[in-house]
């Protein structure tokens, strides 16, 4: 367990999460080998400023097994060494991530490990709720350990307090997709399509209401076409799952270019080190 001095370290002045590590967390979760696994964890890399600001710029996965309270410390340190050499010490270990809405008992054990690794700076913990309904925040929250209780127990060895987190655009994404480009992003295309669909639905609804109220004479061909469309669309949970899946795909594609660029840069630096 981390010492009280580590737990009582001062919180950062601000915490910023860039898209690349967020995408890596989502990718890690979607590619987990066991679909019944509810949580994935990994390390967070970033930069600390003299003003006390922390910017999370990268991440990597770390294997674990909660049934055996197992955390792959050796694999973590090996990956951390590779990332440090590749970045030229521009990125340092700032904390760790996990999927879920908030920390729990197992989080305390993992956090104690990272608190010792980042000392004398406090370890940052970021949770990403993959089932979050608030798409504006994408379910990402920041946490920091609070001072240990006077008589800590196994369940209360580490307590957490919420740390305000800001999602930020990364410059690498702008380098891949220049501002002068005329091509639209998948999300922009989706938004435009939804606006057109909404306008069509408004017109169809107005027409149906006029027919029902007897203001206009109904057209049998239009009625059959609308019934056919409604039969294909369906509804209920199945329709919500389709929409949710398409939105998740669009979000993943929007950040994919940033991930590709960063991975190419990392591979190039590792290749230079090996040569």
The CATH code of the domain that includes 56 is: 3.40.140.10
Same-domain status, 138 and 221: no
Same-domain status, 16 and 143: yes
Q: What is the pLDDT of residues 109-141, one digit of tens each?
A: 899 999 999 999 999 999 998 876 655 556 899
Are 98 and 40 in contact, with CB atoms under 8 Å apart?
yes
* Residue 68: domain span: 4-168
Same-domain status, 223 and 96: no
Q: What is the pLDDT of residues 161-200, one digit of tens each?
A: 999 999 876 544 444 444 434 445 566 776 777 788 788 7
pTM of the model: 0.58
Sheet hosting strand 140-146, strand order edge to edge: 159-163, 140-146, 124-128, 92-99, 41-48, 53-62, 14-17, 166-167
**Positions of the chain with pLDDT lower than 70, given as ranges:** 1-9, 69, 132-138, 147-158, 169-187, 190, 231-275
Q: Please provide the size of the chain in residues.
A: 275
């Amino acid at each position: 367990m981390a010492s009280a001095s580590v737990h009582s370290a001062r919180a950062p002045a601000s915490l910023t999460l860039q898209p690349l590590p967020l995408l890596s967390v989502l990718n890690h979760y979607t590619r987990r080998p066991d679909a019944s696994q509810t949580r994935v964890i990994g390390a967070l890399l970033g930069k600390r400023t003299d003003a006390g600001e922390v910017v999370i710029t990268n991440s990597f996965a770390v294997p674990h097994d909660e049934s055996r309270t197992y955390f792959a410390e050796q694999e973590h340190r090996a990956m951390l060494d590779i990332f440090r050499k590749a970045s030229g010490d521009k990125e340092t270990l700032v904390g760790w991530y996990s999927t879920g809405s908030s920390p729990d008992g197992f989080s305390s054990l993992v956090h104690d490990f990272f608190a010792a690794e980042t000392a004398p700076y406090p370890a940052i913990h970021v949770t990403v709720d993959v089932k979050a309904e608030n798409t504006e925040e994408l379910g990402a929250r920041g946490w920091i350990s609070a001072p240990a209780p006077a008589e800590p127990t196994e369940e209360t060895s580490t307590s957490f307090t919420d740390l305000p987190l800001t999602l930020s655009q990364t410059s690498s994404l702008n380098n891949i997709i220049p501002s002068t480009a005329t091509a639209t992003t998948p999300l922009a295309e989706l938004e435009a399509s939804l606006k057109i669909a909404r306008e069509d639905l408004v017109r169809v609804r107005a027409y149906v209401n006029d027919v029902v109220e007897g203001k206009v004479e109904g057209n049998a061909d239009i009625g059959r076409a609308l019934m056919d469309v409604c039969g294909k669309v369906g509804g209920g949970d199945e329709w919500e799952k389709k929409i949710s899946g398409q939105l998740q795909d669009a979000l993943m594609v929007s950040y994919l270019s940033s991930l590709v660029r960063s991975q190419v840069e990392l591979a190039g630096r590792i290749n230079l080190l090996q040569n």
